[in-house]
DNA sequence: CAGCGGCTGTCAGGCCGCTGTCAGGTCGAA
DNA sequence: TTCGACCTGACAGCGGCCTGACAGCCGCTG
């Protein structure tokens, strides 16, 4: 999961970053609206946490621009306390959820995860695809009801494929998701993870489309 | 367990603090409504003890603000004796329990623990997970029916794992709940506690998921 | 005040599982 | 058949985690 934190208060931004990281997000952040607008428009995030009071360009303006350009990632807006009018404007601008400042980090995390799940079209902590079940609470995976042990990296890979099980994920996107671009790895690192995962999962689960990327096989209609 | 005491009388606040600490709470306190409102909104408490007569902002107002912001932690309100109108207002504001001043410390402690248990969705003071039983009344732990002695820190760690036994707890979250962020410790401090606990508990109770965190092993299905 | 013992954080050392890299091998597409 | 994308077994390094030792702190005791 890739998250963008747009927040000009360095301390809050840092807290947000660590909180989101601790539940599996890879977090990037920026402090002003201009950069936020650029990043949100060019990069692909699974979640954006957006503070409204920003230097240069107001958060609401940024949000409107994104939506105007057809960007539909879930956006969680941080509003000032009691700023009732901001909420209404936020709704119009296309925010997905709100949190008044100051807020509890746990609540933000809970809402963030709910947003991501909702945006993927599922509401449960248990995500299923065919024989595969991923429990985001226990961070565990089970296959045909049998729990299996996966490493941290394997888990993140599986969870990401699970969330986007309706499309094919390019290797570059997976590398981006697993490592980020600051400490990038060779493509072979990803292939190694895939191989190890397949050894555990068995055939017919994790598929490849040569030249395109990886995907989770749809459940068998028979049996 | 983390508790916030909101009380402007320094002596009462001090007594409350020691009483709650003696039954296992990590206590923070503040003396005016403004700070209380901020703390209750930003920090995560398992219990709040709230006096209504406060400088700056009235306790009821603080409580209403919390609830208005969706904070649902259990709040125990201290009312002046015979001020039954305050109770009615308190109910509307969203208090969970009341205690008229002056009160006996034992009663407050009992109600406080009952509140915490209720909010955790477990009605009993006895929490069980497999062979392990934690008695939050006596602050005692027993293993396979045999009582065992644990230190204060070990107890708090166990009680927290017990309360969240359905998921994996990241080391950062445990550090946060054992120490708070104001006097943070290195991760190794937590590891030391874990090691000492495991030495007492024996194998198969306190598990590790490398890269994720710690958890209580589910009970053995076989006898 | 000195001594003592329990509790706990820090340090240093070590183990071992995880993971990236490498060197091939395999397979599909044109 | 050729090329390149992809797979895979082996291996080494890293780092998460564990643990024994030690010292500081604190309450208790004489």
Model-wide pTM > 0.75: no
Lowest mean pLDDT among A93-97, A160-164, B131-135, B185-189: A93-97
The position carrying tokens 């709940």 is: B177
Give the strand pairing for A47-51 and A75-79: parallel
Rounded CA-CA distance B162/B217 in Å is 10
Q: What's the alpha-carbon Rg for chain B, to the nearest Å?
A: 19
- The DSSP call for residue B150 is -
Q: What are phi and psi of B99, to 5 degrees?
A: -145, 120
In this complex, the residue of B41, B168, B209 whose CB is nearest that of residue A102 is B41
Is there a contact between B111 and B120 (Cβ–Cβ < 8 Å)?
no
Rounded CA-CA distance A163/A149 in Å is 19
pLDDT per position as a tens digit, B172-194: 889 988 887 767 788 999 999 99
Which strand C bases fall within 7 angstroms of a protein CB? 6-12, 17-23, 28-29
* Chain B environment of A138 (Cβ under 8 Å): 166-168, 215
pLDDT at residue B115 in the model: 73
Using CB atoms within 10 Å of the CB of residue A200, give its burial: 0 to 12 exposed, 13 to 18 middle, 19+ buried: middle
Rounded CA-CA distance B146/B168 in Å is 26
Cis, bond preceding B102 (omega within 30 deg of 0): yes
* Chain A environment of B43 (Cβ under 8 Å): 104
Cα angle B135-B136-B141, degrees, rounded to a multiple of 5:
40
What is the average pLDDT across B13-31? 86
CA of A113 to C1' of C15 (A): 36
Which strand D bases fall within 7 angstroms of a protein CB? 5-10, 16-21
pLDDT per position as a tens digit, A83-141: 555 655 665 566 777 677 777 787 788 778 767 765 664 334 677 788 889 988 788 89
Q: Do B211 and A152 touch (CB under 8 A)?
A: yes
* Chain B environment of A105 (Cβ under 8 Å): 44
Rounded CA-CA distance A175/A173 in Å is 5
Tokens of A199: 């050894």
The position carrying tokens 């994920």 is: A169
Q: How far apart are the first and last CA of chain A?
A: 33
Q: Do A152 and B210 touch (CB under 8 A)?
A: yes
Sign for the CA dihedral angle at A110, A116, A118, A124 comes to negative
Q: What are phi and psi of B18, to 5 degrees?
A: -65, -40
Rounded CA-CA distance B150/B142 in Å is 10
- CA-closest candidate to residue B65, choices B28, B97, B99, B94: B94
């Amino acid at each position: 999961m890739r998250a963008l934190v747009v927040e000009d208060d360095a301390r809050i931004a840092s807290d947000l970053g660590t909180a989101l990281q601790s539940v599996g997000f890879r977090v990037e952040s920026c402090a002003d609206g201009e950069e936020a607008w650029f990043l949100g428009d060019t990069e692909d995030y699974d979640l954006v946490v957006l503070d409204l009071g920003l230097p240069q360009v107001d958060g609401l303006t940024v949000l409107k621009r994104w939506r105007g350009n057809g960007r539909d990632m879930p956006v969680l807006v941080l509003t000032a306390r009691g700023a009732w009018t901001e909420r209404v404007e936020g709704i119009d601008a296309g925010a997905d959820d709100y949190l008044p400042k100051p807020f509890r980090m746990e609540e933000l995390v809970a809402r963030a995860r709910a947003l991501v799940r909702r945006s993927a079209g599922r509401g449960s902590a248990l995500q299923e695809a065919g024989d595969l079940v991923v429990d985001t609470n226990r961070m565990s995976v089970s296959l045909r009801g049998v729990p299996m042990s996966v490493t941290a990296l394997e888990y993140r890979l599986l969870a990401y494929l699970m969330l986007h099980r309706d499309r094919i994920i390019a290797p570059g996107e997976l590398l981006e998701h697993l490592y980020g671009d600051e400490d990038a790895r060779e493509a072979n690192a990803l292939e190694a993870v895939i191989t190890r995962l397949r050894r555990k999962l068995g055939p017919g689960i994790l598929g490849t489309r040569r030249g395109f990327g990886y995907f989770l096989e749809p459940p068998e209609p028979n049996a």
